[in-house]
Amino acid sequence: MTSENKSTGDVAEDVIAALKEAEVRSAREIESAKAKKEERIMKARENAQQIKERALREAEELKAKLLADARRKIAAEEEDALSSAKKEAEAIKRINIDSKVVDSIFKALLEELNA
């Protein structure tokens, strides 16, 4: 019976050793999983930062484009307004010149009639 007890003790020691080994393996796997999780979190943060930076850059580019478009439109409208104002001024000049010519003709006619 002593040999049976000894072998039972050996079996118990083997089971305990196997359990300890399994515990150590589990601890390593947990640490590995934690490290992988941290790595995924870090990569996700980096990706989020890159997306944020790209979005900000694209927003700035769009803002600059819209501002340039608005400035071009304003410049074109100002040019159109200036052109219209010049045309109106020329028309008024012609009217004034025509008015002076008509006045001169009337004056000449009146002088002829009075003469």
Q: What is the pLDDT of residues 46-85, one digit of tens each?
A: 999 999 999 999 999 999 999 999 999 999 999 999 999 9
- Please give the structure tokens belonging to residue 39: 């790595």
In the chain, % of residues over pLDDT 90:
67
Check residues 56 and 10 and name the one with the higher pLDDT.
56
- pLDDT at position 5 is 56
Q: Give how far Cα 4 sits from Cα of 1, 13, 19, 110, Å.
A: 5, 14, 22, 155
Angstrom distance (rounded) from CA 28 to CA 48: 30
What are the CB-based long-range contacts (under 8 Å, 24+) for 87-90? none
- pLDDT at position 19 is 94
**With 50 as the cut, is the pLDDT of residue 115 above it?**
yes
- Please give the structure tokens belonging to residue 27: 């601890």
Task: For the chain, give the mean pLDDT.
Answer: 91
**With 70 as the cut, is the pLDDT of residue 3 above it?**
no
